[in-house]
């Protein structure tokens, strides 16, 4: 890299880190003002609140707005350089626009890689800290200890089970059933009045059990007052956690995804979308960096104000595109891995068009 590349890259990174730190401070102050009563009710000291909540909140809010602040930072410092006629001098010296974009490529790839690593390891840990605090101190006891209704899942490749309700506190449920299907025939059916997790035996205790076995000779019915059985699910798997997909590292998320696919869970698409966005969002950082550089390197009437307005409009369109593709995936038939990359594909085309039409 030449001296000019280091100059542009230095401005890029310094502007971005200043912006993201400033945004984080403002967001933390706003969040603190909104949660003051909750923090007071928790009875925790200031140090404990910082350690148990804000150590998770700060990385979360930084990752949430990371791509957009990369974009705004690029537009801001590039527009300032254009208004000072720096790009006119660079182009007049024989340097092409393609060569000017090199430090933007380097900065975009560096920040995109930083976000990619964070999404896989650091941000899930931070989300776990924030979620644990929320569940322990901020949610009502009813929300934390209520029972969940109508569970139905796939136990293995040929067995299905379900229960009418399940209580996460007592680890017990009612009206449990299990069926095994081979081909188009039900070969085994189990009904139990109650199911409860036995901590000492690390197995499920069933009461009022009626078992039916069907084969070519007929049907065999057996009644057992109580028995213990081991299944592929445990109490933790039956707890409906709103934060589960965001608090898992990528290897853990993929293991859970495979398990939920086997069970036929309704959360499969949400898990797939989370997994896909951990890879697609860092690529969006690179794309938005190039769009911002190409847009703002031209000196136009109105200066930085016009550039920032265009940047905000593009940010809004990007967010809308991302939300629409997510909804079409989670509520429709669009594959989550396709939906996560739709905004990147569209804005990659926009980047190419802007580059082709920009003065060289």
Assign 183 to helix, strand or coil. coil
Distance between CA atoms of residues 234 and 143, nearest Å: 21
pLDDT score of 304: 65
pLDDT score of 230: 84
Share of the chain above pLDDT 70, in %: 90
- Residue 301's CB is within 10 A of a number of other CB atoms, namely 5
Is the pLDDT assigned to residue 140 strictly greater than 60?
Answer: no
Share of the chain above pLDDT 90, in %: 14
Give pLDDT tens digits for 290-314. 998 888 887 766 666 777 778 788 8
pLDDT score of 144: 44
pLDDT score of 150: 66
Mean pLDDT confidence for 99-119: 92
pTM passes above 0.75: no
**8 Å CB contact between 333 and 269:** no
Confidence of residue 161 (pLDDT cuts 50, 70, 90): confident
Q: How far is CA 205 from CA 149, 171, 193, in A?
A: 19, 11, 11
Q: Please enumerate, as own/partner, the contacts of 240-248 that have beta carbons within 8 Å and a separation of 24 or more.
A: 240/148, 241/131, 243/127, 243/128, 243/130, 243/131, 243/134, 243/135, 245/270, 245/271, 245/274, 246/123, 246/124, 246/127, 246/131, 246/274, 247/124, 247/125, 247/127, 247/128, 247/131, 248/124
Q: How far is CA 69 from CA 15, 74, 105, 315, 319, in A?
A: 10, 8, 16, 10, 13
pLDDT score of 295: 85
pLDDT score of 149: 61
Domain-wise residue ranges, the chain: 3-140+266-357, 156-231
Give pLDDT tens digits for 181-203. 887 788 888 899 888 888 888 88
Mean pLDDT confidence for 87-115: 88
Distance between CA atoms of residues 265 and 197, nearest Å: 21
Assign 101 to helix, strand or coil. coil
Distance between CA atoms of residues 201 and 18, nearest Å: 56
Sheet arrangement for strand 159-167 = 147-154, 159-167, 172-182, 185-198, 203-215, 218-229
Give pLDDT tens digits for 222-244. 898 888 888 877 776 666 555 67
Give pLDDT tens digits for 1-28. 788 889 989 999 999 999 888 888 998 8
Q: What is the mean pLDDT of the chain?
A: 83
**8 Å CB contact between 293 and 104:** yes
């Amino acid at each position: 890299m030449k001296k000019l590349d280091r100059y542009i890259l230095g401005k890029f990174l310094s502007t971005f880190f200043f912006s993201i730190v400033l945004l984080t401070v403002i967001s933390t102050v706003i969040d603190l003002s909104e949660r003051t009563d909750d923090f007071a009710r928790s009875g925790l000291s200031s140090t404990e609140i910082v350690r148990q909540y804000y150590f998770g909140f700060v990385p979360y809010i930084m990752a949430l707005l990371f791509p957009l602040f990369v974009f705004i930072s690029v537009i801001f410092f590039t527009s300032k350089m254009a208004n000072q006629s720096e790009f006119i001098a660079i182009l007049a010296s024989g340097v092409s626009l393609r060569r000017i974009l090199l430090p933007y490529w380097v900065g975009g790839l560096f920040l995109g890689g930083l976000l990619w690593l964070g999404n896989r390891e650091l941000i899930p840990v931070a989300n776990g800290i924030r979620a644990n605090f929320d569940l322990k101190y901020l949610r009502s006891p009813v929300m934390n200890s209520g029972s969940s209704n109508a569970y139905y899942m796939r136990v293995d490749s040929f067995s299905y089970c379900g229960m009418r309700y399940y209580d996460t506190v007592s680890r017990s449920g009612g009206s449990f059933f299990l069926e095994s299907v081979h081909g188009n025939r039900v070969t085994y059916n189990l009904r139990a009045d109650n199911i409860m997790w036995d901590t000492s035996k690390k197995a499920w205790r069933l009461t009022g059990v009626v078992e039916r076995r069907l084969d070519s000779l007929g049907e065999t019915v057996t009644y057992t007052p109580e028995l213990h059985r081991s299944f592929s699910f445990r109490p933790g798997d039956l707890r409906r956690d709103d934060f589960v997909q965001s608090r898992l590292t990528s290897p853990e998320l993929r293991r859970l995804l495979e398990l939920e696919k086997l069970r036929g869970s309704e959360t499969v698409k949400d898990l797939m979308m989370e997994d896909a966005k951990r890879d697609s969002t860092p690529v969006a950082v690179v794309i938005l960096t190039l769009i911002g550089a190409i847009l703002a390197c031209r000196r136009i009437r109105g200066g930085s104000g016009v550039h920032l307005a265009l940047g905000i409009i593009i940010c809004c369109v990007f967010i809308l595109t991302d939300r629409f593709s997510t909804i079409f995936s989670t509520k429709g038939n669009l594959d989550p891995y396709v939906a996560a990359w739709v905004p990147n594909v569209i804005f990659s085309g926009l980047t190419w068009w802007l580059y082709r039409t920009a003065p060289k």
